Structure 1
Amino acid sequence: MDKILVVEDDKTVYSGIKKLLELQHYSVVIAQNGMEALEKIDESFSLVIMDIMMPQLDGIETCRRMRERHSVPILFLSAKSEELDKLEGLEVGGDDYMTKPFSNMELISKVKALIRRYLVYDSGSANRTNKDETIETDGLKLFTNRNKVEFNDNEIKLTGKEYEILKLLMKNPDRIYTIEMIYEMVWDEAFTYNAKNTVMVHIKNLRNKLIKACGDACIHTEWGRGYRFER
C-alpha cells in the first residue's frame, strides 16, 4: 500500500482528499502545516500532496527544505490561479501542480502517474536483475535502471522528472522533442496548454544543474520546434 503525505491546513479539503485516496487503497498521513510535514516526512512515502498557502511555513519553503533530503514527488495544490505561484513551486522542486477546485478524477490520475514513475525510477523498485545499463558521453553518465546521473564519477542530484527528461533526450540525441512530446512521455498524461510552463521550468532547472556540474547545459533549444540533447 503506497503511503501519501497530505499537507493542507483546511480540514474540509484534507478530509475529502484523505477519503478519496483511501478509497483507492492508499495509506494517507495528514500534516496541517509545513513544519509538521517536515517532521513526518521520511523514505516510506511515495508522494506528497501539498498546499502552497499555509500558516507557519508555506508550501514553497517546505518543498525547498524537503528537497535537501528527499526525492519523493511533490504535487502542489493552490487556490491561486496566478502562474507565478505555480512556477515558483516547480522551480523549488515540485513535480506538478493542480489549481483548486479540481476534479476527483484529475487528482487520482496525477497521483497514479507520479507514484508509478517514482516507484520505477526513484525508490529502487525497478528490477535489479536487469543489467544496469548506462548512457555516457564526454564524462556525463546516466544509469538507465535507476535515478542516477554522474559527471566524472561525481553524482548530479536530479528530481525524478529532471532525470526522466534527461534520459529521454540522451537516449535519442539527434531527435528533437516538442514540449508536447516531452510532457506526454514523461508525465504520462495528455498534454494541455497549462502543461507548457511545467515542462519549461523543469528543463530550466535541469540545465542549471548540468551547467553547475559539467559546465554545459547539454539540452539545446531548436526554436519553434523543441529540444534536443547534444554535448
Structure 2
Amino acid sequence: MEKHRRHTTKILIVDDEPDLRKLLTDYLEINGYVVMAAQNSHEAIRQIEEHPDLILLDINMPEMDGLELCRKIRNFISCPILFLTARVEDTDKISGFRAGGDDYIQKPFSIHELGARIEAHLRREIRSQHKTSVKFSEDLVIDYSARALYFRDERIPLAKKEFDIIELLSTHPGMVFDKERIFEKVWGIDDEGDSAVIVEHVRKIRYKLKEHGCDDRIETVWGVGYRWRKS
C-alpha cells in the first residue's frame, strides 16, 4: 500500500544547482516517488500545472528567489513546501513561514533526514484529506464531518468561521499560519476584509474554550501567527 502510494506521489525540486537536483532526483526516484525538477522559478511555475504533492524549494535562486516564488504559487497550490537553504536566522525562518512555507531544511543536510521530513509532511497531508472524528486528548474531540467540537462530551457552540479556523489549525498541528494565510484559507482570496478579523475570531474561540473549562489549544507565535498546540 505504501509503495503504491509513493508511485503516485509527485515531488517538484526547484534548485539552480545541477548536482543537487541530480542527487535529490536519484534518491527520491529510488524511493519510489515521481520526480519533477526545475532550475529556476519560471520553470517551476510551468511544472506547478502538474499538481505536485510536495515541493522542495531553494531560497537562493537568480531572478525570482524562493520566497517570492512561494508567495506567488501559494494562491494556487496548498501542498507542503519545504525550503532548502543555508539561512538559519530566526528572521529568515519567519519570512519563509510568512511566505507560505511549511518547513526548513538546512544545507548541507542529511539525505535520510530529508527523506524522513518528506514522509512526515506527506503523511500529514493524507491525514488532513481523510478527516474523521479526531480525539486530541482524553477530553477534547473534534468531529470534522459533523463540524462539532466537544469537551468532556459537552458540545462547544461555534460559529462557522470559528470552526473553519479550528479545522485549518488542528489538521496541521504544530504548523504556523500567519493571519493573512488563515484569512485566505477560511474566507477565500477573493473576499474583501481585514486579516485583523482573525485576531477577534481567535479571541472568541479561546473564550469559548475557557468557558467550558478547556485549556487554550491555539498558540500565538509572536510576529508570525497561530498554530494548534500538539498534544
Kindly report which structure 2 residues correspond to 1:47-66, keeping only aligned pairs within 5 A, or say none: 47-66=54-73
**More displaced 10-residue stretch of structure 1: 43-52 or 204-213:** 204-213
Decide which of 26, 31, 34 is 1:24's aligned counterpart: 31
> Residue 98 of structure 2 corresponds to which residue in structure 1?
91
What secondary structure is seen at the aligned counterpart in 2 of 1:12?
helix
> Residue 223 of structure 2 corresponds to which residue in structure 1?
none
What secondary structure is seen at the aligned counterpart in 2 of 1:217?
helix
Q: Take 1:29 and 1:47, find their aligned partners in 2: how far apart are those partners?
A: 10
Decide which of 147, 158, 161 is 1:140's aligned counterpart: 161
Cα distance, 1:137 vs structure 2: 0.6
Cα distance, 1:125 vs structure 2: 5.5
> Residue 120 of structure 2 corresponds to which residue in structure 1?
113
Kindly report which structure 2 residues correspond to 1:188-199, keeping only aligned pairs within 5 A, or say none: none
- Name stretches of at least 5 consecutive residues in structure 1 with no aligned partner: 143-148, 150-155, 169-185, 188-198, 221-225
Aligned 8 A contact 1:49 1:74 in 2: yes
- Per-residue CA deviation, residues 36-75 of structure 1 (Å, 9 max, x unaligned), is 1111103631100000010111000100011111101100
What secondary structure is seen at the aligned counterpart in 2 of 1:19?
helix
Cα distance, 1:98 vs structure 2: 0.9
Aligned 8 A contact 1:134 1:141 in 2: no
Aligned in 2, Cα 1:55/1:93: closer, same or farther, shift over 3 Å? same
Matched AA of 2:217: R
- For the pair 1:212 / 2:197, whether they are aligned, the reply is yes
- For the pair 1:79 / 2:92, whether they are aligned, the reply is no
Matched AA of 2:159: D
> Residue 145 of structure 1 corresponds to which residue in structure 2?
none
Aligned 8 A contact 1:91 1:205 in 2: no
Give the number of the structure whose alpha-carbon radius of gyration is greater: 2
Aligned in 2, Cα 1:70/1:216: closer, same or farther, shift over 3 Å? same
Aligned 8 A contact 1:35 1:56 in 2: no
Aligned in 2, Cα 1:34/1:131: closer, same or farther, shift over 3 Å? closer
Aligned 8 A contact 2:100 2:181 in 1: no
CA RMSD after TM alignment? 3.2
Aligned in 2, Cα 1:227/1:57: closer, same or farther, shift over 3 Å? farther
Cα distance, 1:207 vs structure 2: 9.0
What secondary structure is seen at the aligned counterpart in 2 of 1:108?
helix
Matched AA of 1:228: R
Aligned 8 A contact 1:5 1:31 in 2: yes
Aligned in 2, Cα 1:203/1:7: closer, same or farther, shift over 3 Å? closer
TM-score of the two chains, using structure 2 as the length reference: 0.64
> Residue 228 of structure 1 corresponds to which residue in structure 2?
217
> Residue 194 of structure 1 corresponds to which residue in structure 2?
none
- Name stretches of at least 5 consecutive residues in structure 2 with no aligned partner: 1-6, 133-142, 149-156, 184-194, 207-214, 220-231
Aligned 8 A contact 2:56 2:83 in 1: yes
TM-score of the two chains, using structure 1 as the length reference: 0.64
Aligned in 2, Cα 1:227/1:109: closer, same or farther, shift over 3 Å? farther
> Residue 102 of structure 1 corresponds to which residue in structure 2?
109
Cα distance, 1:215 vs structure 2: 3.5
